[in-house]
Amino acid sequence: MNESITLAQGNGGEENRDLISELFFKPLANEILERAEDAAVIEGGRLAFTTDSFTVSPLFFPGGDIGKLSVCGTCNDLAMMGARPKYLTLGVILEEGFEIEQLRRIVESLSRELARNGASVVAGDTKVVPKGSVDGIFLNTSGIGEILVPGISASNVRLGDAILVSRDIGRHGAAIFAGREGIELSSAVESDCASLWPMVEALLEAGITPHAMRDATRGGVAAALNEWAASSAVCPLIDEGALPVSDEVAGICEMLGFEATALANEGTFLLALPPQEAPRALEVLRRFEGNESAAVIGEVGDRYPGRVVLQSQWGTSRFLELPTGELLPRIC
C-alpha cells in the first residue's frame, strides 16, 4: 500500500479493491458489509440500501450529465439486487461561482430520471465551499429499494449458469474520454447512461430468475466478472467473440490501447441465470432501446475457481484480470 492515495485507487480495479479491503472492510467489518454487494440487504431481506458519490468530468457529456448519472448510479445498484427503487437522498457540494443555470439543468435532469424509476428524493443537504475547493459540483445519492425477488447475489452464481450482457460494452468510458479530450469520430459515441430498473422489472415479470446481476461500472465488465468469480468461487468462461462492442468504442480502444472490457458502463449489466432461461431473457432485454445487442457471452465453470477465463476466436485463452492503473479518473 502506498504512503498516500493515488488516482489508481479509485479505478474500480485491483488497487481500488485493495484500498477498500485494507482500510475500510477490516476496521468496519460486519456481516452485511463483507458481502460486497451492489447494495446492502437489510431488514430481514425486505430492503436494499446503497450510496454513491459523483465527481464526473465533464459535467455534461454525450448521453447524460452528472444529475442523470447520480440517479442511474444509485437506482441501478438497487435494481441489481432485485429491488424496486423507492427513496433517495441527495447531497450537493457546490463551488463558489458555479452557474445557477447549470445547476438548474442538472436538477431537472435528475428529476426526469427519478420519474423513470418511480423514485423520490426525500431528504438532502447542500454545502457551498470556496472557489477552488471543488471542481464545480459534486453529488452524493443514497437509495432504499424494496426487494421483490430475494436471493440475487454475487455469491449465488452457479456452475452451468449462462452469462449474459444487456448491451454493447464500454460506451460510458469511451464517451467521457472522447468528450474530455476533444476526440472527433465519424459518428459520435454516446454514453450508455440509463436506468436499469425498467429492464430488471420486465425480466422479473416474465418469470426470469437471475442468480446474480451486476452493474458493470468502474472497472467495466472485467471487474464485475472478477467480483463474481471471487464471491462465488467459480470460473466464468467468456467467449471474446461474443462480447458486443460498437464500432465507435472499438475505434477508440484501438486508437488508445484500451480494452473494452475494462471501460466503465453506466447502463449495462451482467446476468447469471439458468441456461434454459437465456433465450427468454434476451428476448425481454432486446425490447428496450439500445439493448438490441444483448448477448450470451459465456458460461460458469470451475476450471480455475476465483479466476475469469477469456476464450479467443482462435482457440486460445487467457485470464481476464482485474484492471490495474488509472485508466480514466473521474469517470462517474
Asked if residue 212 and residue 92 are part of one domain, the reply reads no
CB contact set of 160 (below 8 Å; sequence gap of 6+): 274, 275, 299, 300
The pTM (predicted TM-score) of the whole model is 0.95
Instruction: Identify whether residues 199 and 259 lie together within a single domain.
Output: yes
Q: Edge-to-edge, what's the strand order for the sheet holding 40-42?
A: 40-42, 47-54, 137-147, 83-95, 120-129
**Residue after which a domain boundary falls, among 129, 147, 165:** 147
Pick from 147, 174, 189: which residue ends a domain? 147
- In terms of Cβ atoms closer than 10 Å to its own Cβ (0-12, 13-18, 19+), residue 282 is middle
CATH number of the domain residue 185 falls in: 3.90.650.10
Whether the bond between 58 and the residue before it is cis, its omega within 30 degrees of 0, is yes
What is residue 90's predicted lDDT score, i.e. its pLDDT?
Answer: 98
The predicted structure's pLDDT at residue 67? 98
165, 291: one domain: yes
End-to-end CA distance of the chain: 24
The answer to whether residue 43 is domain-embedded is yes
* Rounded distance between C-alpha atoms, residue 46 and residue 71, angstroms: 21
Q: What is the pLDDT along the chain (332 residues), one digit of tens a residue?
A: 678 988 888 877 888 888 888 889 889 999 999 898 999 999 999 999 999 999 999 999 999 999 999 999 999 999 999 999 999 999 999 999 999 999 999 999 999 999 999 999 999 999 999 999 999 999 999 999 999 999 999 999 999 999 999 999 999 999 998 888 776 665 678 999 999 999 999 999 999 999 999 999 999 999 999 999 999 999 999 999 999 999 999 988 998 889 999 999 999 999 999 999 999 999 999 999 999 999 999 999 999 999 999 999 888 999 999 988 777 788 99
Is 19 inside a domain boundary? no
Same domain, 164 and 309: yes
Domain boundary among 147, 165, 181: 147
| Residue 184 pLDDT | 67
The per-residue pLDDT for 239 is 98
Query: What CATH number did the domain enclosing 63 receive?
Result: 3.30.1330.10
Let me know if residue 83 belongs to a domain: yes
With 0-12 / 13-18 / 19 or more C-beta atoms within 10 angstroms meaning exposed / middle / buried, residue 105 is: middle
75 shares its domain with 109: yes
Looking at the fold, whether 133 and 205 belong to one and the same domain comes out as: no
Instruction: Establish if 79 belongs to a structural domain.
Output: yes
Which residues span the domain enclosing 82? 35-147
Task: Please give the helix or strand (H or E) that residue 96 lies within, else none.
Answer: none
Which three three-digit cell numbers place residue 20?
A: 477498500
* Residues 124, 112: Cα–Cα separation, whole Å: 17
Residue 232 lies in a domain: yes
* Three-point CA angle 260, 59, 73, nearest 5°: 60
Q: How far apart are CA 286 and CA 65, in angstroms?
A: 25
Residue 30 lies in a domain: no
- H/E element holding 197? helix 197-205
Quote the number of domains for the chain. 2
Please tell me whether residues 143 and 223 are part of one structural domain.
no
7 in a structural domain: no
Alpha-carbon distance 20 to 39, whole Å?
16
pLDDT tens for 246-296 read 999 998 899 888 999 999 999 999 999 999 999 999 999 999 999 999 999
174 and 310, same domain (yes or no)? yes
Residue 115 burial (10 A CB sphere; 0-12, 13-18, 19+)? exposed
Residues 165/295, Cβ–Cβ less than 8 Å = yes
Report if residue 327 sits inside a domain: no
Q: What is the pLDDT of residue 187?
A: 66
206, amino acid identity: A
